[in-house]
Amino acid sequence: MTRKYFGTDGIRGRVGEHPITADFMLKLGWAAGIVLTRNTVGKKRVLIGKDTRVSGYMFEAALESGLIAAGVDVDMLGPMPTPAVAYLTRTFRAAAGIVISASHNPVEDNGIKFFAADGYKLPDEVELEIEALMSQPLITNGSQSLGKARRISDATGRYIEFCKGTLPAGFDLEGLKVVLDCAHGATYVAAPWVFKELGAYTLTIGNEPNGFNINDQCGSTHMEGLQQAVIDEKADLGIAFDGDGDRVLFVDGDGEVVDGDELIYIIAQHRKAAGNCNGVAGTLMSNLGLELALADLGIPFQRTKVGDRYVVEALKENNWSLGGEGSGHVLCSDLNSTGDGIVAALQVLLALAESGKTLSELKKGMNKFPQTMINVRLPKKIDVSDNAVINHAVTDAEQELAGRGRVLLRPSGTEPLIRVMVEGEDQKLVDRLVASIAATVEQQLSETQPA
């Protein structure tokens, strides 16, 4: 069955446009409450966390009402990183966790992510059950069987202690000067405290959310401010999170960005030396340089569809613990059940400390291939995979790359876009090929649309 509302990472869209509306969220809370707590013995409990978007207040209240109408108790966590909600869902023994966030998207967007009782994203069949119930009338329980709501005041402190506990006993960051960029998002409280309590000299930017400035020229999608801050402050490195804290990117001491693929390589190299890295999962977008560098280390590598949920599935299937995406989703599944920006950052810093090398030195073991992507906007979500002209353009480009590069056409999971990506050793060739294919796609779309 085709999912109507859920994409690759929950439900996401523009606030005020269906389905990101108050009435939809009320119904969604009710439907999710029924489906996610149907096998619960005793108290039915669901946690709700959110990022710092102004619209989060509205959707928090709507989801809370829907859940209570379904007879579910609600624990309100307030602004909280997505991975913190996954962790707290497990430790609170809750039936599910809900995050109100559009991650790295601008403030005009918002969305909903769900975690099951085990802290993992919901499987497709459960999302389909929630969608099916959305078409049914909302039935409110009577007074005796309504749920209740409460605020959890110490949720952030619990998560801070969890993050620090992912490091070996006695490990600290004394002597490290680090700049953090919290994207005016959900990590603005937890991240500075974690690094300060571990002994790092910490400077923080992007930690003054006002409801409207999340991801606005800051965080992991806009690295320029952090790069300049690292240089100006003569810091050892910088760390950038996205709006909900499940992504992380670094800046080295020279002001150069270190992306998710490079961070995965650094962690894998460190874990391999310790004898505990038996494989890495990436995605179709993972840089070819990562695959080749891991092969040099004797580490198996598997690509999945784009989206951290598919990386998690691969890790489970292979009994591996490390994977992620170049965008900064780094999964250490032996430590948390979803991508965790703070935890992944600490794993990188552990690798730095125990190797005695700098960030720029450690990343040199991986040679990134130039990779360029162009987004071609569609009039609506349509399949272009069977277009002979487009397929011929892709084949021609692959022949030019001569086995030393890749071409990928991928539909966006959340927007009517086709992402055209070309990767190869020569940047000029890559840029020419991606522009040519994108132009072919645009031309074919214009010719197939009715006048």
Q: For position 414, what pLDDT does the model report?
A: 63
Prediction pTM value: 0.92
Q: Establish if 273 belongs to a structural domain.
A: no
Q: For position 417, what pLDDT does the model report?
A: 86
* Per-residue model confidence as pLDDT tens digits over 74-84: 999 999 999 99
Q: For position 348, what pLDDT does the model report?
A: 98
Q: Give the strand order in the sheet containing 248-251.
A: 201-205, 177-181, 237-241, 248-251, 257-258
* Per-residue model confidence as pLDDT tens digits over 306-349: 888 899 999 999 999 999 999 999 999 999 999 999 999 999 99
> Predicted confidence band at 448 (pLDDT cuts at 50, 70, 90)?
low
Q: Establish if 173 belongs to a structural domain.
A: no
Query: Which one is predicted more confidently, 446 or 427?
Result: 427
Q: Establish if 387 belongs to a structural domain.
A: yes
Q: For position 182, what pLDDT does the model report?
A: 98
Measure the CA–CA gap between 330 and 309, rounded to whole angstroms.
Answer: 12
Q: Establish if 313 belongs to a structural domain.
A: no
Q: Which one of 98, 120, 153 terminates a domain?
A: 153
* Per-residue model confidence as pLDDT tens digits over 356-399: 999 999 999 999 999 999 999 887 666 778 889 999 999 999 99
Domain with residue 438: its CATH number is: 3.30.310.50
- Catalytic positions, please? 103
Residue type at position 159: Y
How much is the average pLDDT of 113-127?
95
Domain with residue 131: its CATH number is: 3.40.120.10
> Predicted confidence band at 1 (pLDDT cuts at 50, 70, 90)?
low
Q: Which two tokens stand for residue 31?
A: 């439907």
In the predicted structure, residue 22 carries a pLDDT above the cut 90: yes
CA 428 to chain centroid, in Å, comes to 30
Q: Which one of 103, 124, 153 terminates a domain?
A: 153
Q: Establish if 137 belongs to a structural domain.
A: yes
Strands of 10-162, DSSP E: 11-14, 45-50, 73-79, 96-100, 109-116, 149-151
In the predicted structure, residue 451 carries a pLDDT above the cut 60: no
Domain that holds residue 90: 11-153
Q: For position 413, what pLDDT does the model report?
A: 67
Q: For position 358, what pLDDT does the model report?
A: 95
Is 396:410 a contact under the CB 8 Å cutoff? no
Q: Establish if 303 belongs to a structural domain.
A: no
